[in-house]
Structures are given as C-alpha cells and as structure tokens.
C-alpha cells in the first residue's frame, strides 16, 4: 500500500495509462510485461490472471501469482507494482463460482498483490457500484490492505457513482 501511496499520493478519480498492443503470447505475457516495465522505468503492470484460473475470451487463463512474483524478484523489479483484475471482464468464473468477490480480493492480498482492479462484465460496462462498496468497506475496516482501482466503465455521466468519499 505504501508504494501505491507514493505513486498516487492523493485520492484521485482518474489515473492516466499508456496502452500498448498485446504482446506475443497473450494472455500469458505478464513476465514480458514486467520486463518491458523494467526497461521503460514504468511503475506498474496490469495482470489478468494473478489468482484463480478462469475462462476468458482468450481461452483458459491459469493463475500465475507465484510465477510472476518470482520473476519480478529475479529481474530485480520489486519496485514495479502488479495490479490485478479480480473476476475479470470477458470471462466466465464458473470454475470459481463458489468463491465470492470478497474472498477473491482477500486471496489477492494473501498472494501479495499490489492492488486489485474491479471491472464490469465487458469493455465499457460499468463496474458494479455495490461490489465496489463491499470491497471498499473491507478496506476501510482494515481487513483488506490493498488499493482498489476501477478498471472499466467510468464515464463523465457516472463518475459521481465512484466517488470514494460518498461510498
């Protein structure tokens, strides 16, 4: 959480990002993304398969927390944060349907994620505000010690729904 606070010292609604075309090997390219982040002095990467396997539009995505964290240490890139989608968009979570969103967030914390990303069901869909409130409440109570990022669906018209000061 401290690294996140150094990167984003105040609460903000919008964080700018650079998006690049998918790297070869998508969706299992996170180690390459870490290498690119290190080479470009980037602060973080976004990972779609950190914990709990799922079926996405790209096929089966196996969880990779251990592999990714070991690689990050091997290339001396512990300063690069890994933000992780949980219950990611464009995916079926039938194989983990017995695991709640809150359990998934807690698992991300257990496996040393640097932050979690909540999304809608597909690109452009709004993130469920009630799910965000649930996760945010756990964070406020000190039970979830991870930054929460909203990864899709925020528009000018619905931005007020995501104001953490009102959740």
Number of domains in the chain: 1
Q: pLDDT for 146-155, tens place per residue?
A: 998 888 888 8
- The CA distance from 150 to 114, in Å, is 14
Share above pLDDT 90 across residues of the chain, in percent, rounded to a whole number: 21
Which residues, in sequence order, are CB contacts of 143 under 8 Å at separation 6+? 106
The DSSP bridge partners found for residue 92 are 55
- Is the model's pLDDT at 36 over the cut of 80? yes
State how far the Cα of 147 lies from the Cα of 132, in Å rounded to an integer.
12
Sheet of 148-150: strands edge to edge? 44-47, 81-85, 115-118, 148-150
Q: What residues make up the domain containing 9?
A: 2-162
Residue 33's region, left for phi above 0, alpha for psi from -120 to 50, else beta, is alpha
Q: Is residue 144 part of a domain?
A: yes
In a domain, 134, yes or no: yes
Does residue 91 lie in a domain region? yes
Average pLDDT score over the chain: 79
Residue 71 is assigned to a structural domain of this protein? yes
Q: Which whole number is the average pLDDT over 9-21?
A: 57
The verdict on residue 101 lying in a domain is yes
| 93 found inside a domain | yes
Q: Does 167 reside within a domain?
A: no
Q: Tell me the mean pLDDT in the region 24-49.
A: 78
Answer yes or no: is 20 within a domain: yes
């Amino acid at each position: 959480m401290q690294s996140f606070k150094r990167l984003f010292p105040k609460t903000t609604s919008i964080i700018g990002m650079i998006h690049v075309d998918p790297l070869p090997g998508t969706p299992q390219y996170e180690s390459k993304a870490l290498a690119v982040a290190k080479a470009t002095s980037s602060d973080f990467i976004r990972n779609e398969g950190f914990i709990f396997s799922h079926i996405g539009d790209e096929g089966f995505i196996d969880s990779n927390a251990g592999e990714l964290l070991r690689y990050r240490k091997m290339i001396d890139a512990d300063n690069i944060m890994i933000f992780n989608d949980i219950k990611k968009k464009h995916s079926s979570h039938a194989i983990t349907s017995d695991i709640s969103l809150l359990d998934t967030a807690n698992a991300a914390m257990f496996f040393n994620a640097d932050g979690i990303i909540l999304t809608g069901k597909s690109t452009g869909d709004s993130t469920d505000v009630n799910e965000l409130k649930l996760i945010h409440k756990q964070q406020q109570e000190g039970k979830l010690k991870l930054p929460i990022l909203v990864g899709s669906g925020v528009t000018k018209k619905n931005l007020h729904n995501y104001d953490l000061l009102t959740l």
